[in-house]
Structure 1
């Protein structure tokens, strides 16, 4: 499986979020959105958890 983290671009944020400088990091697993985080570090931590679960289930 593939897990990736992307920063949501301003075109996909509300005007209020852009005005307040809010960033959202999306986590995708097999091209499905599985998580949204305000902190990049939280998004990457979740990505690592998902990858660990994937590696356990493949054994």
Structure 2
């Protein structure tokens, strides 16, 4: 399973979000968007949870 965290490109944010200075962190699992977070730490925690669940499922 591939899980990755990326910062959303500002060109993919609404004008309102850009004006407010918001950052969005996307979590993709096997190239599918599975989560969006305003905090990079939360995004990485979710990634770790997904990887942990996957490892438990395969054992």
TM category (shorter chain) comes to over 0.9
Structure 2 unaligned regions, length at least 5:
none
The alignment's TM-score, normalised by the length of structure 2, stands at 0.96
Structure 1 unaligned regions, length at least 5:
none
Aligned residues: 59
- Residues 37-56 of structure 1 correspond to what in structure 2 (within 5 A)? 37-56=37-56
Which contiguous aligned blocks of 4+ residues in structure 1 show a shift greater than 2 angstroms?
none
What CA RMSD, in Å, does the superposition of the two structures yield over aligned residues?
0.5
